[in-house]
Structure 1
């Protein structure tokens, strides 16, 4: 792409960014918002693309105006690139952003998102404290914004870029989100720790439940067992009353039962794990946790041997963002796309240490 070529509008660039970085992409919010589209536009406008001698910085973005953006002839673009950093350079029209947007452009859109994901390169020989332009779009990423690239050819180019550029972890996370977000038509087969298999109705909640039983249980429990699993509504997929009684828990038909109850039979005293699956709503909030604690107390099971977990598809997804502020203290959140970690909502009074 050269300065002689036309440029997509910010709105068109943002539409492509939402396809290039689908749900599940790390820091997706930084990659697909308007500020990200403005950043890509400014880079394309001045020709700051890998292989050229031109680089850009946050100021190239936040001083841009609609009037300047419409001046897409080569002379205007070269003039903007050469003079934008000068204090007395006047850009006609109302600026896109204020000066204090520079940190969001530099730290979030560029350093935490585009650079990490391989969409932008950064000059290594420019000191961190320098205000000199240091960023450029990678050539493969810039090519995705060619106005002549459309339809099936664009889709193929985006897929090829994703495959070649995004790391395995990012690709796996995108794939899991895509699988979990699509409600299929085929029942989901779930493999239980004891070797049994059960079928659940297709849908996002069932995909997360499957991951809870097959992945979460094996990662975080020494000797996992499933005591209870239900689907949306009232259908019980699995219920093991005998096993529940063996660990001291009476499972009663109760509206407060969680989606899944796991047990870790490995410790000297078994651990119960109450899990709510959130595809849209319904986390373990304070009221829910208190209701589950009451159920445990009535069964005579010690609360110190109980854990509460809310399971989500992805940390960047709307369900987690919508409910995170209501998660109960003393509970955990687990994400299907990041299976090795637990998000702890701790109400400890201990000091934070470097140990």
Structure 2
């Protein structure tokens, strides 16, 4: 049943640090899943929860735990912010364009966390938890001092510096922004870049919306999106280290999602080296580009009789 002890066990197993696997955090998780003390975890569901009326009131009514009104910020700053970073909760998923100070601001358990939580107590729990941690990492590791030292610094086109979580995938993303963009998309704007630990690291929501790109679908966007305003070219770049080159299937998905965007699409599969490229060569779609970070001055054109530029749409 959805007890505080079980919720704490779930949070610890999914990689939350001690400060986010305490009683308040456990009750928050149960509230986000809309469960009572006698409900099995299989009944967890994704609901819209504000902080005061959605979570604190629910905890008081359902579990008899009455937190003082001034603890609202503690819920928000010490639990929910970290839940979002850990991919346990989404912020404003049902109204993503709400202003920061909107009274309608809300949270909901993520689809990925919901799938894991529903398996708790069953024979599928260990595999579900392992899948979640593999895909989203562990916040307790992300918060460790040693990991901070290992982060990958990256300088954006506007001179701003951000730090990506360590890993081969993000090293390729760094190369895309710092090496590919100046050579093949000079003067372009970085509209979107994800991170293996933080899905939406850089998001220019206004520019994406102006291009007709649905900003609620970040999880479907390529790893890096650049826009050349002069040529009106949108560079859709996948950083490939284990999976995910621009395949025919991926193009169909992206064209459906970006159907309102009038820019020319330049699809790029970016690899760290020739070895990784060879593993995926058979899956790469024609009329797309391939770039290898270790020979950054060159492109491989999977273009038939056409040279570098936007792909013709089906």
Q: TM bucket by the smaller chain?
A: 0.3 to 0.5
Q: TM-score, normalised by structure 1?
A: 0.42
After TM superposition, the score normalised by the length of structure 2 is 0.48
Higher relative contact order, structure no. (Cα contacts within 8 Å, ≥ 6 residues apart): 1
